[in-house]
């Protein structure tokens, strides 16, 4: 029986378009023309038998199903790339440090710090992978992970990196009166964020759209789709510049934090120890 698997080009195109939100940027990343990317999307829609995008004023607006499909495909493509690199590197695996991190936290907090590590440890090649839930070191290729929680993960060692403060944000285009009736947005991996932020669930009805990542949800807030509870570190610059506002006051300290986590059995691995010592030193500086 033939497998129902689109071509790799189809998958690369839809994943890139969903991630960038724009055909032009996807085409630039894939080194293809815009028309080629558009044709690949059309071909995939023909295979599936239903539209994945709504066409408005020469723009492609992904359906909810397309967004979920693109995000899931992205994870699979990362897995294929990781396994291919593993084959290519062979014995060099011991010199590759695979870091698992949440997408927005990795972008906003970790990556700006990484140049210092790569300068100090030029012998190590970094491989960053993302997920929206805690990593399973038994089934995932990651050596270390930066993840959010209470700090208690079975079979793992966890070091607290930074606490978290959350804040409610909105578009400055909304009037105070309009904000009272605004839709409440939520993150799929944090269904209790609103209740945690205000200290209880009474009167909270989060019926608005759910998002996979903070980056997507924050962009939705910018677009005026509703209000959202987000980590302060992800929106500090936007609040300072005035592109977002905090209609419910200042930040609230969360009961959870971000941790550096790795399997207990890997504690003495040179590459894990190097990253641990550097990161903890960075956080304490």
pLDDT value at residue 192: 84
CA distances for 113 relative to 71, 82, 161, 265, 279, angstroms: 26, 23, 13, 26, 9
Per 3-state DSSP, the chain is made up of helix, strand and coil in percentages (nearest 5) of 45, 25, 30
Q: How far is CA 237 from CA 108, 234, 240, in A?
A: 11, 8, 5
Task: Give the separation between CA 208 and CA 228, rounded to whole angstroms.
Answer: 10
Q: Is the pLDDT of residue 120 over 70?
A: yes
Q: H helices of 90-192, where?
A: 103-105, 114-120, 176-180
Average pLDDT of span 1-15: 83
Residue 200: predicted pLDDT: 62
| 13 pLDDT more than 80 | yes
Q: What is the pLDDT of residues 89-119, one digit of tens each?
A: 555 557 889 999 998 899 989 999 999 999 9
Is 87 in a helix, a strand, or coil?
Answer: helix
pLDDT at 75: 86
CA distance 158 to 118: 22
pLDDT tens-digit readout, 171-215:
998 877 777 778 899 998 888 888 888 776 545 667 788 898 899
Q: What is the mean pLDDT of residues 11-30?
A: 88
Q: What is the pLDDT of residue 89?
A: 58
Who contacts 9 (Cβ-Cβ below 8 Å, separation ≥6)?
40
Q: Range with the lowest mean pLDDT among 10-14, 27-31, 46-50, 280-284?
A: 280-284
Mean pLDDT to the nearest integer, 57-82: 84
Q: Mean pLDDT score of the chain, rounded to an integer?
A: 87
Domains and CATH numbers, the chain: 8-62 (1.10.10.10), 93-285 (3.40.190.290)
pLDDT digit string (tens) for 198-257? Answer: 776 545 667 788 898 899 999 999 998 999 999 998 999 999 999 999 998 898 998 889
pTM score, whole prediction: 0.60
């Amino acid at each position: 029986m033939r497998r129902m698997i689109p071509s790799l080009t189809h998958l690369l195109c839809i994943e890139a378009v969903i991630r960038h939100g724009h055909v032009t940027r996807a085409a630039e990343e894939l080194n293809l023309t815009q028309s080629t990317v558009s044709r690949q999307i059309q071909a995939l829609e023909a295979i599936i038998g239903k539209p994945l995008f709504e066409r408005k004023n020469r723009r492609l607006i992904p359906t909810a199903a397309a967004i979920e499909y693109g995000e899931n495909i992205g994870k699979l493509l990362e897995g294929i790339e990781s396994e291919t690199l593993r084959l290519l590197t062979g014995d060099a695996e011991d010199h590759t440090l695979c870091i698992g991190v949440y997408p927005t936290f990795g972008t906003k907090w970790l990556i700006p710090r990484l140049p210092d590590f790569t300068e100090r440890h030029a012998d190590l090649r970094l491989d960053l992978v993302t997920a929206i839930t805690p990593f399973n070191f038994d089934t995932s290729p990651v050596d270390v992970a930066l993840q959010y929680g209470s700090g208690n993960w079975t079979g793992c060692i966890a070091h607290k990196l930074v606490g978290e403060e959350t804040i409610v944000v909105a578009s400055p285009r909304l009037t105070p009166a309009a904000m009272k009736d605004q839709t409440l947005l939520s993150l799929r991996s944090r269904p209790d964020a609103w209740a945690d932020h205000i200290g209880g669930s009474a009167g909270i009805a989060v019926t608005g759209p759910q998002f996979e990542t903070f980056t997507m949800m924050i962009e939705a807030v910018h677009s005026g789709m509703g209000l959202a509870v987000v980590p302060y570190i992800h929106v500090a610059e936007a609040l300072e510049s005035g592109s977002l506002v905090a209609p419910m006051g200042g930040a609230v300290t969360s009961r959870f934090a971000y941790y550096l986590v790795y399997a207990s059995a890997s504690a003495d691995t040179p590459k894990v120890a190097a990253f641990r010592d550097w990161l903890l030193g960075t956080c304490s500086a």
